[in-house]
Every structure is written in structure tokens, then in C-alpha cells.
Amino acid sequence: MEKIQSDKNLMTEGSVSAKIIGFAVPLLLGNLFQQLYNTVDSLIVGNFLGSEALAAVSTAGNLIFFMIGFVIGLSQGAGVVIAHYIGAKDSKTTEIAVHTTVALGLFCSVALTLAGVILAPQILILMGTPDTVLSQSIGYFRVYFAGGTCFVMYNIFVAILQAAGDSKHPLHYLIISSVINIVLDILFIRYLGFGVEGAALATVIAQGVSVVLCCARLMRTEDDYKLVWSKVRFHKDTLVKIINYGLPSGFQNSIIGFANVVVQSHINYFGEMAMAGAGAYAKIEGFAFLPITSFTMALTTFVSQNIGAGKYDRVRKGSIFGTICSVSIAELIGVIIYIFAPTFIAAFDKTSAVINFGTERARICALFYFLLSFSHVMSSILRGAGHSVVPMIIMMVCWCIIRVSILMVSSLFVRDLNIVNSVYPITWALSSICFCIYFKISKVLQPKAT
């Protein structure tokens, strides 16, 4: 007997604003908890282990995103495919897409774990990581990627749940894992003396709990996206479609991650105080990403499901509403960070040099968060519409080629940390202009001619 997909999470019916907000708010709260426990990591490291340890964790952060960002992109592509089938109420193909996605996640887990553990020292050395923090960075990085399966499968399982319109259960699981992470951070670092490796281990364990909870939810549901482990295998046609949708997103994340690794290498040139300051700021900036991430995920699912259902008018209305919400909230957070930057940075490390470095970066970047948000939202709408190659190209040119070129050329004449910090708002502006031009001349959100 064919299963019937429950309509309670479908975004193809009802109020456009209510559906987007109802999906985005749990994501926002979940991301808030995730950002809080990421921030607590750095707070505990900075306050109990010192500036060198904070610098070590900070320099590993960009490298982690560079390596795991590709898998996140693949999971986003898989989510688009699944959401499209759910919107079209195609039960059989939804089931196939879910089990192919899980199989792909298991394969990527092994590959990412091996790459992270083996390549960590070489990449960190190439980044110009100072000798004073290199050993701690390698230790943190290796422990983190020893648990690579937890991070990969978490993104895979959450992508499936979100594709089905379920953002509430991931929120519950993030709250649980956040509490576990904070408790383990304090236990491992303050009381057991595990050092920065303890922070990585706490994160792995907490993420592992989330994986188990997400998996249990997928196995218990009676909807089309139910996970049955005996059905997990690659289905060629569906795999090709997932890769076609996900590869550009994965490549986009990786090239952005690569550009940030290059930026981090230029920050490393100024020493561990600059590294610690930039790392503290990065944690604070993460709060500006909360509305961005929440509304981009909501819009990708909303656009995918409604295009699958052929409801293009809802797609356009939802895109406008989600963009306004994301940009407005991100800019409000940017103003707050601009004003209170010294206080926020001091919470991580009270060393005056660290505060100064972090505040300088905040004062250059924070007021331009509306550009950052706009670019990400446009990218998510295009992904949801199945046009993931366009944002990949725009991001590759603006956020990688131009960003890296500015740094390389400027470093030939002068070494100035303000130039390093300025490449972010400059390239956010360029990508926003490119997206505006593309949407003006294209008909992405128009029904395809038959």
C-alpha cells in the first residue's frame, strides 16, 4: 500500500509568510543554540587555556569549513531534490532519493574522516600557522575529523527533515546537544585538563547525539521520507540528479572555504594576537548568520516544494518576503555588533591586543551584513529553483578569485590587516550586484514553457 505524505509540513498550501516564518523560527532558535555552544567552546578555551589556544582553535575553524563545506553543499542539493519530489507528492521517488542520500552520506563520511586526519598537518603548515600554536591546531583538527561521520550524517539527516518541512525536531535535538557540549567542554577542559582536544571531543560527542536522535526520527516516521536501513543503496539516476544539484553548492562552499583559508593565512602573518582577535570576532559574526542561515534554508525548501507543485506565484511572494526578513534582521545584528564590539571581544580574551584586533575587524565588516545576507538569500532561492550553477559561479568569482587577488596584489606592496578585513564587505557588495543583474535579466522564477 502506497504511503501518503502528511500535509502538515508541506509549504505549498496556506499563508506564504506564516509557512516561511513557521519553518524559519525553529531554524533560527536551533542555529542560535548551535552558535551558542560554538561560542562557549571559544569562551572556555580563551578563558581557561589562553590566547594561544584560542588562536589554535580559530585557525582550524576556516580549514574545517573548507573541508566539510563540500559535504554540506551536497546535502543541500539532496534536500532540493527530496523537497521537489515531496512537493510533487511523488512517494516512490521520494523514498529512493532519501535512501540514495543516506548512502552518499556514508561514503562521504569515510572520505572526509581520512582526508581530515591525514592532511591536517600539511594544510595547517601551508596556511602559515605559527609554530607557537601549530601543535594545538593539529590536535584540535585531528580529533574533530576523527568524528567526521557525526558531522556528515548530521547534515544529511537534517537536510532530509528540512526538505520535508520539519524544522522543529532538529531544533529539539540541537538544544539537547548544545547542553551536552557545554557540560563536556567544562568537564574536559577545566577539570580533566584535555586542552583544545577536549573542546573538539566535546563537539564530536554532542554532534553524535544529534545524529542518533535525527536518525531515530527518520526511522519512526510513517511519511514518504521514512528511513529503512535495508533500503540504503545508490540508485544511479537519483544519485546523478543529487550530484547535479549538490555538486555546484558543494563546490561553492569549498571555494568560499578556500578563500577564507587564504584570508586566514594572511591574518596568521600578524601573529597569535591577531589570530585570537579574528577568531573571537568570527564567533560573534556567527550570530549575524543566524537569520541568514534560517531564512536561506526556509527559502530553499519553500521554493523547491512550490516549484515541484507548479506554484510559481507563491515562489515569487515567498522569495520577496524571506529576503526582506533575512536582510533586515542581519543588519540589525550588525549595528549591535558594531556598537558593542569591544565588550563582546573581551568576553573571549581580555588581552588588549586581542580586543583591538577583533574590534577593528568588527568595525569594518558589521555594517555591511545586509550585503552578506542578500547574497546568501539569492543563492538559496536559485538553489531551490534548481539553478545551483549560477550562485557557484558568482561566489567563485567574487568571493574567491577577486578576494584572493586583492590580498595577493596588496601584499606585494603593503601588509595591512585593515586591507585583509576589508575584502569581505567589498566582495559581498560585488556578489550582491551580480545577483541583482542576474535576476533582472533572467526568468528563473517564471514557469517553464511547455
Q: What single string gives the DSSP state of each residue in 6-32?
A: -STT-SSSS-HHHHHHHHHHHHHHHHH
- Work out the widest C-alpha separation in the chain, in whole angstroms: 71
Gap between the Cα atoms of 238 and 177, Å rounded: 32
Q: Cell match 550524517: residue?
A: 153
pLDDT for position 55: 74
Residue 266 is placed in which grid cell?
A: 594572511
Mean pLDDT of 251-258: 77
Please give the share of the chain, as a percent, with pLDDT higher than 70.
Answer: 94
CB burial class (10 A; 0-12, 13-18, 19+) of residue 8? exposed
Structural domain boundaries, residue 333? 16-440
Evaluate whether 181 touches 40 at the Cβ level (below 8 Å).
yes
Domain count, the chain: 1
Mean pLDDT of 272-289: 84
Torsion of CA 370, 304, 443, 375, to 10 degrees: 20
Q: How confident is the model at residue 10 (pLDDT cuts 50, 70, 90)?
A: confident
Return left, alpha or beta for 162; rule: phi > 0 is left, psi -120 to 50 is alpha, else beta. alpha
Examine residue 5 and state whether it is found in any structural domain, yes or no.
no
Distances from the Cα of 191 to the Cα of 45, 198, 205, 358, 397, angstroms: 13, 11, 17, 29, 47
Q: How confident is the model at residue 450 (pLDDT cuts 50, 70, 90)?
A: very low
pLDDT for position 156: 94
**pTM of the entire predicted model:** 0.74
Nearest to 256 by CA among 150, 404, 429, 92: 404
Distances from the Cα of 184 to the Cα of 151, 178, 288, angstroms: 17, 10, 26
Q: Which residues contact 13 (CB under 8 A, 6 or more apart)?
A: 7
Evaluate if residue 59 carries a pLDDT over 80: no
Distances from the Cα of 407 to the Cα of 113, 127, 309, 404, angstroms: 31, 14, 46, 5
Residue 223 or 290, more confident: 223
Evaluate if residue 419 carries a pLDDT over 80: yes
Examine residue 447 and state whether it is found in any structural domain, yes or no.
no
Residue 19 or 211, more confident: 211
Q: Cell match 506565484: residue?
A: 313
Q: Tell me the per-residue pLDDT of 34-44, one tens digit each, with 9 for 90 and over.
A: 777 667 777 78
Examine residue 61 and state whether it is found in any structural domain, yes or no.
yes
pLDDT for position 9: 63
pLDDT for position 68: 76
Looking at mean pLDDT, say which of 8-17, 63-72, 109-118, 432-441 comes out highest.
432-441
Examine residue 268 and state whether it is found in any structural domain, yes or no.
yes
Examine residue 8 and state whether it is found in any structural domain, yes or no.
no
Q: Cell match 567552546: residue?
A: 41
Examine residue 343 and state whether it is found in any structural domain, yes or no.
yes
Residue 91 is placed in which grid cell?
A: 512517494
- Across 202-216, 289-303, 414-428, least confident range: 289-303
Gap between the Cα atoms of 159 and 166, Å rounded: 10
Examine residue 9 and state whether it is found in any structural domain, yes or no.
no
Mean pLDDT of 332-355: 92
Mean pLDDT of 220-231: 92
Evaluate if residue 350 carries a pLDDT over 90: no
Q: How confident is the model at residue 7 (pLDDT cuts 50, 70, 90)?
A: low
Evaluate if residue 297 carries a pLDDT over 70: yes
Gap between the Cα atoms of 259 and 253, Å rounded: 10
pLDDT for position 358: 92
Nearest to 72 by CA among 189, 152, 157, 174: 152
Examine residue 1 and state whether it is found in any structural domain, yes or no.
no
Q: Is the dihedral of CA 276, 282, 284, 286 positive or negative?
A: negative
Residue 8 is placed in which grid cell?
A: 502538515
DSSP type of residue 129: -
Looking at mean pLDDT, say which of 89-98, 249-258, 438-447 comes out highest.
89-98
Gap between the Cα atoms of 138 and 10, Å rounded: 44
Gap between the Cα atoms of 298 and 25, Å rounded: 9
Gap between the Cα atoms of 5 and 92, Å rounded: 11
pLDDT for position 8: 60
- Rounded to the nearest integer, the mean pLDDT of the chain is 85
pLDDT for position 5: 46
